[in-house]
Structure 1
Amino acid sequence: MSDLRIRAAGPDDLDAVLAFWKTAAEGTSISDDRSGVERLVARDPEALLVAERDGELVGTVIAGFDGWRASLYRLAVHPDARRTGVAMALLRAAEERFAALGGRRADAMVLNRNELAHLAWHAAGYAPQPEWSRWVKPLTD
């Protein structure tokens, strides 16, 4: 895994990340656009982590921390790089970030229908919380 590099994405990476999500991420979000990701990186420059192998983008995770909650979004690994440790390396980097910031628990948003992702999250030590329900209201049309 020594050839894998994890780093924070910068403004120059955003178009590549958005294109990557179309290939590697399951589903899309209302905020999966240039302005949404620009706001994320401007507000928290260390939140969007990317994994690269041989200079190619192979994975992402958003590790957001608001001072109270540590939240994980957009864990995505290129189909050709799955089951090679990329997701685990991204999650370790996110968890290290949270610990350094004082985070005490990480919550992940995972689509119910994405059973492959459920396996990866479980392998990383995460568990579904059936007593919680996620309620969502889009703030824009």
Structure 2
Amino acid sequence: MQTVTLRSFNSKDTDSVVDLWTISGLVRPWNDPRKDIERKLLVQPELFLVAHDGLRVVGTAMAGYDGHRGWIHYFAIHPEQQGRGLGRRLLQDIEQRLGALGCPKIHLNVRSTNEAAAGFWRAVGYAPSDSLTFARRLITD
């Protein structure tokens, strides 16, 4: 088994990241993942982490902190790596980074149909919120 290292994203990871997001079911027709990566690199790029096994990206966490709350997006672990503790390890790293910025609370969205992801988040101590998420596109990809 390859050793998995956690590090900040770099542009050489792009194809591998998009592949992982596609395999993980995170890519949607209305969100261009490459544009999402470009946008993230303009704002807090140090909060875009990848887990790399020496050959490919096997995990990602794209986080942000707005001074009030932290958010986690594009949290993905390759199916072959799930259940081995990598998700917890990646989450711990991103929580430490957000905590160092003074972030008091983290939010994330999970699609209502993704029971496996909801189970992971419950298992690591996150709870469903009673708030609704509303969205509006400002830029069409």
Partner of 1:66: 66
Which shifted more, 33-42 or 77-86?
A: 33-42
Cα gap change, 1:73/1:126 in structure 2, threshold over 3 Å: closer, same or farther?
same
Instruction: Tell me, in whole angstroms, the C-alpha distance in 1 between the residues paired with 2:29 and 2:127.
Output: 23
Contact 1:51 1:60 in 2 (8 A): yes
* Residue 141 of structure 2 corresponds to residue 139 of structure 1: no
Instruction: Give the whole-Å Cα distance in 1 for the aligned partners of 2:97 and 2:25.
Output: 22
Partner of 2:33: 33
| Partner residue in 2 for 1:91 | 91
**1:72-83 correspondence to structure 2 within 5 Å:** 72-83=72-83
Aligned partner of 1:104 in structure 2 is 104
**What is aligned with 1:16?**
16
| 1:96-135 Cα shifts (integer Å, max 9, x gaps) | 0011111011111111110000111011110001x20111
Which runs of 5 or more structure 2 residues have no equivalent in the other structure? none
| Count of residues in Structure 1 that have an aligned counterpart in Structure 2 | 140
Q: 1:50, 1:61 within 8 Å by CA — same for their partners in 2?
A: yes
TM-score by length of 1: 0.89
Gaps of 5+ in 1: none
Shift of 1:28: 2.4
Q: Is the 8 A contact 2:16 2:56 kept in 1?
A: no
Structure 1 pair 86–54 and aligned structure 2 pair: CA distance change class (3 A):
same
Alpha carbons of 1:29 and 1:85: their partners in 2 closer, same or farther (altered >3 Å)?
Answer: farther
In structure 2, C-alpha distance between the alignment counterparts of 1:62 and 1:78, rounded to whole Å? 15
Segment of structure 1 superposing worse, 81-90 or 24-33: 24-33
CA distance in 1, matches of 2:118, 2:35: 29
How far 1:32 moved relative to its partner? 3.4
Q: Which runs of 4+ in 1 moved over 4 A?
A: none
Return the letter of the residue paired with 2:8: A
Q: What's the Cα RMSD here? A: 2.0
How many Å apart are 1:140 and its aligned residue?
2.9
Percent identity, aligned pairs only, is 32
